[in-house]
Amino acid sequence: MSGGTETGRGTEASGGPVTVRVPAKVNVQLAVGAARPDGFHDLANVFLAVSLFDEVTATPAAALTITCEGPDADKVPLDRTNLAARAAELLAARHGISPDVHLHIAKDIPVAGGMAGGSADGAGALLACDALWGLGSSREELLEICAELGSDVPFSLVGGAALGTGRGEKLTELPVGGTFHWVFAVADGGLSTPTVFREFDRLAEGVEIPEPTASPVLLDALRTGDTTALAGALANDLQAPALSLRPSLAATLAAGTEAGALAALVSGSGPTTAFLVKDAEAAETVAAALIASGTCRTARPATSPAPGASVL
């Protein structure tokens, strides 16, 4: 897998702070299968990394501690439920060492927004601690820990574009033939991913759910960098449940479309909404219109693909 920074075996511990930059994601296709016996859902999940980034800095400390800065910092848990803390603990446990590290998160990705911000911090902390502690873990070892941390965490490490199958953690890298321009409308408050999946199950009761498969038209649009074709192929099975839980998102989707977006969809489990636009100029216009519409807290232009977790 490319898109991130490889850490080679035998890397020496630097001793100093290590900062890792990690991208957000949008799901350009999220096909959801029926609930499995373990409660998860099989997915055909086409991830695309976008240029909104968190930065995780690991510094030696007497014990595991976390701090966070950024506009949404007060919504980020600073205890062991934070995926960054769990990443440090899992990596340390594998190597029989103590996770004595201070993790500082500079948060720019919307919190609980369906853009894998928590997953990004997990992948970032993992790579930062691996470098700080001089462990030199292979990409495969890091991906294994990522999958243990959560379904979206492996993609945060890898970046670029990838098809996630299983519960989303089994990745196949995808070629992307151009730059796509987006606007992301950030909603007030978050949506819990398990709650959105439960709403999917409720809405799907008594309905035959097909096996999730990736759309060949969509994969082709990514490969050729064709924005118009991608706009026609965007699909998210979690959009209906997200809208059912948060009906006000319909007004945000409409505002972006009216402002000239080529396509609009809920990002992952929401409530962030994503608008695919023609170019950087259209992104500025649509972002300004979304903010003026009063249907979202803010709107952020971004591009894709973006590289995966990388040491700065």
Q: Which is nearer to ligand C5P, 151 or 295 (CB)?
A: 151
The SS3 call for residue 189 is: coil
CB of 211 to ligand C5P, least distance (A): 14
Residue whose structure tokens are 């959560």: 150
Does residue 25 carry a catalytic annotation? yes
State the residues that interact with ligand C5P by CB under 6 A.
Answer: 39-41, 43, 150-152, 167-168, 193-194, 197
- Are 57 and 19 in contact by the 8 Å Cβ rule? The answer is yes
- Name residue 205's amino acid: E
β-pairing, 65-69 vs 101-106, is parallel
Q: Which residues are annotated as a binding site for ATP?
A: 110-120
Residue 276 CA to residue 309 CA, distance in Å, equals 24
Q: Which is nearer to ligand C5P, 42 or 130 (CB)?
A: 42
Alpha-helical segments (H) within 259-302: 280-293
The SS3 call for residue 72 is: coil
CB of 2 to ligand C5P, least distance (A): 24
Q: Which is nearer to ligand C5P, 167 or 300 (CB)?
A: 167
Q: Which is nearer to ligand C5P, 25 or 41 (CB)?
A: 41
Residue whose structure tokens are 């894709």: 304
Catalytic residue among 107, 152, 226, 278: 152
- Are 218 and 233 in contact by the 8 Å Cβ rule? The answer is yes
CB of 147 to ligand C5P, least distance (A): 9
CB of 118 to ligand C5P, least distance (A): 8
Does residue 226 carry a catalytic annotation? no
Catalytic residue among 25, 54, 108, 237: 25
Please list the active-site residues. 25, 152
